[in-house]
Each structure stands twice: as C-alpha cells, then as structure tokens.
C-alpha cells in the first residue's frame, strides 16, 4: 500500500513554508539536509502509510521563501519549532545531516514538542576542515555563476553516493533546483559552520526523549565515529545502520532507510 502526497503552504514567522503531507496516523516530521528539499523524502512518504508524515522545505531551499535569513542555527531551529507548533503538534522528528542537527537542537530546546528524535548521517560537531569547506562554498554561492554553482554541487555530491552512481546526474539536477539562486544554501551552510565554534555535543545530555542515531555503512562525511560521539553523550539512544550506502543513504539505499524508519516508528507505536 502506498500513500499520495499532498503539497501545501503555511505561514510560519517570516516564511511561506512549502511542505508535503501523506499517510494517516501519528505525526512524523521529516527534515532534509543541505542542498536538498522535501522531495528527498518522497519514498518514505509513499511507503510509510501508517503515520502522517510531513516533509517541509527549509528556509530559502526548494519552494520555501528565504525571509530575513540571518545564517544562524538558532533561526533554523526556530523555523522547525514554528512548523511543529503550527502544523503538527508534538511529533516524532526525523532529520538527515543538517536536518538531524536541527532535530537534536529542537529536542533539547523544546522537549514538549519532540516525542522522539531520529537523526541520519548527522554530526554534533563540525571540524575545521568542514568549516573551511562551508566558507568556500558560501563564497561560491554568493558570487559564482549558475554553471559554477552546478559544478560545485556535482563535485560535492559524487563522493556521497557509493552504490547508486548511475543516479548521480539526476540527483545533482534535483539539488541544483533545490538550491536555486543559492540564498538558502548560504544561510544553512553558515549555520552549520558555526557548529565548529559552538558544538552541539554539550547539549545532547539535556535531551530526554529517545534518540535513534542512524548511520550508513560507507559514509565518509559522517563516519561511525560521529555517531559514537552522539550515542555516548545522549541519555537514551540506539544506533542503527543502513547497509550499502554512502552519506546520501536515501539515494543509495532508500528501501534500507525506509526499513529502519519503519522499525523505529513501529517500536514507538508499541510503547
């Protein structure tokens, strides 16, 4: 059985937020990563029919407006909290990469809204090399041509896919569309770079809801060490792994991602 997705728009703070909802049941909010939009969760929204899933576009990415972006993690977390308050009420929050970082902060800041947190390909700290990379990409997105932005996205996407390499051009094209003129990418990359100076790890001990940390078997961007750091700091956590997948695990093995999420959500329904 599959579920049709319905596209909607809602006003949250200074934003017009685009989102898709599907399924019936308890609410699950899906938060995408950098250089992506809500379409990255299309498989899960089609297959996870026993829950009401909501996938939204982050500030300035996909079809969501940029608003008065300030390049901070605080603002992106406030956007997520505002979406949950306005649209779903308390929910399971699922985030990939950047989205996972937002989910963890939201769980620490607003325990009343996050019943469970699931983070995929996520790290609670950004090293100096990664921070420098974000700085380079911010400069390119701000001053580069459309062709240069597309070339950079291709360069960054290729090593994140290890099995579905035949889909590279398709995935890059989707990321180019999601990024558009680059404002949302610059905003999100600035927020992620700030974690170099202000790691999220010290806040993890404040999270009281269960947290599921999901890694990919061949993720060179967020390797097992990143997951181990989070699991050690979280009061209530479980590690899961998606096989045959690089960082973009929902490209390499979407069925594996769906299976892990279904297992987690079914366990939640039984508690």
Question: Mean pLDDT, to the nearest integer, of 141-151?
Answer: 96
Q: Answer yes or no: are the C-beta atoms of 93 and 103 closer than 8 Å.
A: yes
Tell me 52's DSSP state: E
Q: For 79-98, what is each residue's pLDDT tens digit?
A: 999 999 999 999 999 999 99
Beta-strand (E) ranges in 57-187? 91-96, 114-120
Beta strand pairing call for 91-96 and 114-120: parallel
The per-type count for the chain, helices as H runs and strands as E runs, is 10, 8
pLDDT band of 271, cuts 50, 70, 90: very low
The DSSP secondary structure of 190-238, one letter per residue, reads: HHHHGGGTS-SGGGGGG--S-EEEEEETT-SSS-HHHHHHHHHH-SSEE
pLDDT score, position 269: 53
Q: Where are the domains of the chain?
A: 6-269
pLDDT band at 201 (very low <50, low <70, confident <90, very high): very high
pLDDT digits (tens, 9 = 90+) for 223-264: 999 999 999 999 999 999 999 999 999 999 999 999 999 999
Q: Are 124 and 199 in contact, with CB atoms under 8 Å apart?
A: yes
Q: What is 6-269's CATH topology?
A: Rossmann fold (3.40.50)
pLDDT tens figures, 4-20: 899 999 999 999 999 99
């Amino acid at each position: 059985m599959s579920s049709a997705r319905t596209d909607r728009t809602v006003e949250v703070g200074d934003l017009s937020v685009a989102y898709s909802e599907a399924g019936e049941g308890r609410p699950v909010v899906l938060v995408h990563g950098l250089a992506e939009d809500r379409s990255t969760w299309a498989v899960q929204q089609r297959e996870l029919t026993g829950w009401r899933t909501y996938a939204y576009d982050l500030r300035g990415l996909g079809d969501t407006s940029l608003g008065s972006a300030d390049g901070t993690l605080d603002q992106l977390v406030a956007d997520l909290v505002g979406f949950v308050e306005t649209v779903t009420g308390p929910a399971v929050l699922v985030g990939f990469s950047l989205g996972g970082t937002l989910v963890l902060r939201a769980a620490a800041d607003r325990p009343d809204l996050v019943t469970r947190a699931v983070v995929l390909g996520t790290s609670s700290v950004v090293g100096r090399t990664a921070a420098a990379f974000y700085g380079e990409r911010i400069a390119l997105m701000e001053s580069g041509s459309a062709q240069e932005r597309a070339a950079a996205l291709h360069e960054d996407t290729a090593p994140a896919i290890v099995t579905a390499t035949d889909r590279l051009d398709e995935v890059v094209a989707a990321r180019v569309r999601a990024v558009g003129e680059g404002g949302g990418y610059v905003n999100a990359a600035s927020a992620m770079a700030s974690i170099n100076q202000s790691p999220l790890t010290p806040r993890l001990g404040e999270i009281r809801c269960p947290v599921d940390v999901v890694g990919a078997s061949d993720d060179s961007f967020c390797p097992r060490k990143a997951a181990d750091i989070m699991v050690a700091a979280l009061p209530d956590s479980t590690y899961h792994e998606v096989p045959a997948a690089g960082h973009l695990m929902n490209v390499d093995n979407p069925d594996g991602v769906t299976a892990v999420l279904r297992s987690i959500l079914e366990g939640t329904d039984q508690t």
